[in-house]
Structure 1
């Protein structure tokens, strides 16, 4: 059996195992983005793009689960992209506290990345972190089995920092992906995408989560090329 098939089975098994447990908490949201400085090979770095993103996140007894799907529309073409990322808690499975310093838990981390013409399977280990002022912080280390380019390694960091100014609720959250080079024709990539949002929903009702703000994308060597993307997009996000 090829390693790619093994990776796919591991990701599927993790998804099934996590899906069997009732959520401890869950969140579903829709986001609309619009920016004018996206970069694509052959299209330059001033491409207009609008994106609709559906996200689902859940905390479970034996791990956590995150998935999203993007539908992007640009003059350079339209694209659908998704990720499914289940993680299994080794602490919960073994019944042991796997805590050390800022590490709260150790997890088996998997991700399935897909689009119209490819599927990538990532597998490795993750750490749930206890970082002051954050509502969550995670770091994952993956081996990636890729469809369209050579296999590589990836590190993913995610975090969220809620804060208040004059009684108003704000949230700064982000992900950072760093991947290794795959040869002279595919450079190491770094994608740091952060969102800065104000919850205007609290003025509708105390339970409403309707955010407006911006998304800042810093993507060096996008797709492993010489292209760098630095874009600020307008954002509206609603949590159901």
Structure 2
């Protein structure tokens, strides 16, 4: 497991020099209705997204601060290897723009999970991008299972103001020691930097989390694991 993580980190680092596009983002979230643990939390997130000559990648690190003073960190790395870029073969078919080999690493304090599978990029009118990724989950602390992930972004204008509606949806299957769970997390953001006269993009908005059976824990009267959580959001692109 550790060898696989080191290999992925080496690949991630080496591809940055080959990036045709890359961007870092820093965001702040505050919410009061988290489940499993303290309900009030602040989350500072560092993200990095890149497009390269072999595919694309997304990385984020969450630094979470709880109301009781506890602090924890959690990170994910998601490299995807484009078959069209590496084979010089077109995979365009209907709405399909590309087919990719998808990897995903979840790195927490208690477990490191490796996911592997396939992805497709779809061309849907009105969407900046729309991704569908299917994974087999190799879990550290639970039985292995399957995951389907959707990622999207929809930009639009209202007069002179610019907005973005983006986010992801994760569905993970049931296994011998966990329930199927669904996490839908969209963000609605207004581009405030134009009004404020800031060159770098600065967004203000909200993140909403709907997470059914969070972490695969069955929701019950004894332990409520269904999360409906609205967060205030500030995000800076640099």
Q: TM-score, length-normalised on structure 2?
A: 0.90
What is the CA-CA distance between 1:108 and the residue it aligns to?
0.5
| Alignment partners' CA distance in 2, 1:20 and 1:26 | 8
- 2:155 is equivalent to residue 162 of structure 1: yes
Verify: 1:105 aligned to 2:95, yes or no.
no
- Residues matched between the structures, number: 231
| SS of residue in 2 equivalent to 1:40 | coil
Q: Which residue of 1 aligns with 2:48?
A: 56
1:206, CA displacement in angstroms? 7.0
Contact 2:16 2:50 in 1 (8 A): no
Runs of 4+ in 1 over 4 A off after TM superposition: 4-14
More divergent stretch after superposition (131-140 vs 67-76): 67-76
- The 5-angstrom pairing of residues 153-232 of structure 1 reads 153-183=146-176, 185-205=177-197, 207-225=199-217, 226=219, 227-232=225-230
- Cα distance change of structure 1 residues 106 and 89 upon mapping to structure 2, 3 Å threshold: same
Do the aligned partners of residues 14 and 129 (structure 1) sit closer, same or farther apart at CA in structure 2, a change above 3 Å counting? Answer: farther
Change in Cα spacing, 1:150 to 1:28, as seen in structure 2 (3 Å) is same
Structure 2 CA distance, aligned partners of 1:5 and 1:156? Answer: 24
TM-score (norm 1): 0.90
Measure, in 2, the Cα distance between the counterparts of 1:206 and 1:73. 28
CA RMSD of aligned residues (A): 2.0
Between the aligned partners of 1:30 and 1:190, the Cα distance in structure 2 is 26
